[in-house]
Structure 1
Amino acid sequence: MIVVTGATGNLGSATVEHLLRRVPADRIGVSVRDTARARHFADRGVRVRQGSYEDPAALRESFAGAEQVLLVSGNDPAADMVALHRNAVEAAVAAGVRRIVYTSQHGAVPGNPYRPSDFHLATEALLRGSGVAWTALRNGAYGPLDLVLGPWRRTGGIAGPQDGPVPYTDRADVAEATAVLLAGDRAVDGPVALTAPAAVTLDDLAETASRLTGRTVARVVQDDEEWVAGQLAAGVPEQPARLMLGWYRAARAGFFAEPGPLLTELLGREPRTVADRLAAGADG
């Protein structure tokens, strides 16, 4: 059995949908905070059990009988994510899971100024010491592009701090590739990049947006503190603003510059590019 945590979230839910196309429903389980929100999976034959990273006993029950568990990483900046992930790893080991697959972060290496890389590295260390086979999918940035591009359609410009090359990755592709890996015979050990095959900068994205729209979309580079001040003025709390500033600094330092081939290999096709996503207009 394959058990997916966080299966009512965007990535976890999409991964389960792709698993359902590849393996019988009775070979899939989900571990969720609120079982009512996973009723649509239960109706299709998926095993639904309550479990959260705060409740190790419930996790052990939700992982029972699983050969593989997909641990979708938490992202609450106010929580001790390493302790919560430790609960999940220990519950999986106690349940007799043979392989743990963890959703890590591209560029999770020492010295990365984007702070979430710290808890991803710490979680990978927990996995390394668990005694169980493990895979850390260092997923490329797969959030909505407008999170980085801002309201460029309205303003005609992409404003933000100096960046660097990033292999912006489509979340749907990450979910599909994760399902392929979980459902297939191929084993991938340790940390591996799961990213789009090409890294681009915001200058590149401005050029792409200009070509697609037929109007000039300018790239406006802002001073770091000027950008933070603008975020605060727009109502963004300081903590998430500075967290995002750390992401820009990591990008400009090259921490996200190197993509990997695994996503393309698992999909058996070329992943969606940023140009595809901008042309579709679905998420910017």
Structure 2
Amino acid sequence: MIVVTGATGKLGQRIVERLLTRVPAGRVGVSVRDPQKARAFADRGVRVRRGDFTDADSLAHAFEGASQVLIVSVDKMGEETVRDHRAAIDGAVAAGARRILYTSQMGAGASSHFQACRDHAATEDALRASGVPFTSLRNGFYAASALQLAGPGLESGDLALPADGSVAWTAHADLAEATAVILADEGCFDGPTPPLTGAQALTFGDIARLAAEVTGRTLTRTTVPDSHYREQLVGHGVPAGPAEQLLGIFAASRAGEFSTVDATLTTLLGREPIALRTVLREHLTPGAAY
């Protein structure tokens, strides 16, 4: 059985949907904190069990009989994140899983400027220490994050953000499809994958240009000091710690940590990845899909 954690989240839900096009529902299990939110999967024959990274007994039940466990990384950063991931790894090992998969990120490294990438590196260290074969999915930076960061500027017409570098923005839908391919073909990658990225690396200046082309509006890209952006975030209610972590995205992109473009995702999909222009068009049109 293939067990997927976080199956009601933005990425996890898509992964299960794509996996069900490749393997029978009876071979798929999900581990979620609230089984009621996964009722639609249960109705399709997927095994739904409660699993909480802070509750070892729940993980033992959720991971029971798993041949593979996909750990979808939690949506937070710092020491608590790594502790949660280690608990999930321990649960997969105890359940006797033959392989553990993990949604990491391109640029994962102990010296990264971005906290999340340092967390991913620490989790990958825990996977290596587990003694179980693993696959770490080095996902490209989510295109949805580009939309979130650019959102206020797309509305105002001025993307006023800190200095940045090129980023290989990648759609959730593509990463979900690729993950399903890898899960269905157990063992096609050992250890970290190559970066699973879109076909282009773009700056926010590029995004402003693309958005202008899509909407027909005039958009500009203004560079603001990191300190100004931090103050702006805090002024809008973002705590100082998360504000600093968010700034790490820009520092990491300036250092080129997210600029690599790799063909592995294209090969897994059997087609070109969804372009950021398409993501922007969908986002700026009612009924956005990405």
TM over 0.5: yes
Unmatched 5+ stretches in structure 2: none
1:118–1:145 CA distance, 2 compared to 1 (3 A)? closer
Is the CA contact 1:146–1:283 (under 8 Å) kept in the aligned structure 2?
Answer: no
Unmatched 5+ stretches in structure 1: none
Q: Which amino acid aligns with 1:81?
A: T
Q: Return 144-153 or 198-207, whichever deviates more.
A: 144-153
Task: Measure the CA separation in 2 of the matches of 1:40 and 1:154.
Answer: 35
Q: Return 14-23 or 184-193, whichever deviates more.
A: 184-193
Is the CA contact 1:150–1:159 (under 8 Å) kept in the aligned structure 2?
Answer: no
1:144 is displaced (CA, Å) by: 4.2
Task: Measure the CA separation in 2 of the matches of 1:233 and 1:264.
Answer: 41
Task: Measure the CA separation in 2 of the matches of 1:209 and 1:129.
Answer: 45
Residue in 2 that maps onto 1:163? 164
Identity of aligned residues (%): 49
Please, what TM-score do these two structures have when normalized by structure 2? 0.93
Aligned length in residues: 284
Is the CA contact 2:78–2:119 (under 8 Å) kept in the aligned structure 1?
Answer: no
Is the CA contact 1:19–1:179 (under 8 Å) kept in the aligned structure 2?
Answer: yes
**1:116-139 alpha-carbon deviations (Å, 9 max, x no partner):** 112211110111121111011111
1:148–1:267 CA distance, 2 compared to 1 (3 A)? same
Please, what TM-score do these two structures have when normalized by structure 1? 0.95
**1:179-203 alpha-carbon deviations (Å, 9 max, x no partner):** 1111125611111222212211111
Residue in 1 that maps onto 2:185? 184
**1:143-171 alpha-carbon deviations (Å, 9 max, x no partner):** 34321213233311111000001011111
Q: Secondary structure at the match of 1:113?
A: coil
1:230–1:283 CA distance, 2 compared to 1 (3 A)? farther
Mapping of residues 207-226 of structure 1, within 5 Å: 207-226=209-228
1:78–1:122 CA distance, 2 compared to 1 (3 A)? closer
Is the CA contact 2:78–2:115 (under 8 Å) kept in the aligned structure 1?
Answer: no
Residue in 2 that maps onto 1:29? 29
Is the CA contact 2:26–2:46 (under 8 Å) kept in the aligned structure 1?
Answer: yes
Q: Secondary structure at the match of 1:129?
A: helix
Q: Return 270-279 or 186-195, whichever deviates more.
A: 186-195
Residue in 2 that maps onto 1:10? 10
Q: Which runs of 4+ in 1 moved over 6 A?
A: none
Residue in 1 that maps onto 2:197? 195
